[in-house]
Amino acid sequence: MMRDGAVALASGTIFGAGLALGGMTDPARVRGFLDLFGAWDPTLAFVMGGAVVVMAIAWAFQKRMQRPLLGPSFALPNRSDLTPRLIGGSALFGIGWGIAGLCPGPGFAALAIDAPSAAIFVAAMLAGMMLVRLVDRPA
């Protein structure tokens, strides 16, 4: 159990550092990336491209593995996971990302960089998560 916590902490630290180094914690840069017909900032395309390359390598390794290094089995998505609830949540996520210029990971990472602005975003995000738990009861 201690090893799992250490792996989670190391993974989160690397992820947060990558977000900060990639500029994902800067709402202006994110909004600039999403502004395709204005002052488009292509910087985050390189961040996303790097993520795609890393995941392509990870998928290639996963196909050759019988089980993950730190778990009993793989939990991979399939077509039945694509539900109206998932699509609606994804759309809502994208709209929020475009408006705020932050999503959950960069929002938490931004707490270390611009705490007052990020705290407003994180508080609103957590309030929304609590509201969903109260209103939406999955079947």
The DSSP annotation for 16-84 comes to HHHHHHTTTT-HHHHHHHH-TTSS--THHHHHHHHHHHHHHHHHHHHHH-SS-TTSSS-----GGG--H
Can you tell me the distance from the alpha carbon of 15 to that of 9, in angstroms, rounded to the nearest whole number?
10
User: What number is the average pLDDT over the span 46-52?
Assistant: 88
**Average pLDDT, rounded, for the chain:** 84
Q: Maximum CA pair distance of the chain?
A: 49
Q: Read off the pLDDT band of 138 (50, 70, 90).
A: low
Residue 60 scores a pLDDT above 90: yes
In the chain, the percentage of residues whose pLDDT exceeds 70 is 97
Question: What confidence tier does 1 reach under pLDDT thresholds 50, 70, 90?
Answer: low
Band of residue 57 on the pLDDT scale cut at 50, 70, 90: very high
Structure tokens at 11: 């993974």
In terms of average pLDDT, the best of 20-24, 82-86, 122-126, 134-138 is 122-126
Residue 17 confidence (pLDDT) above 90: no
Dihedral pair phi/psi, residue 125, rounded to 5°: -65, -45
pLDDT of residue 83: 87
- In the predicted model, is pLDDT for residue 98 greater than 70? yes
Model pLDDT, residue 139: 61
| pLDDT confidence band for 56 (50 / 70 / 90) | very high
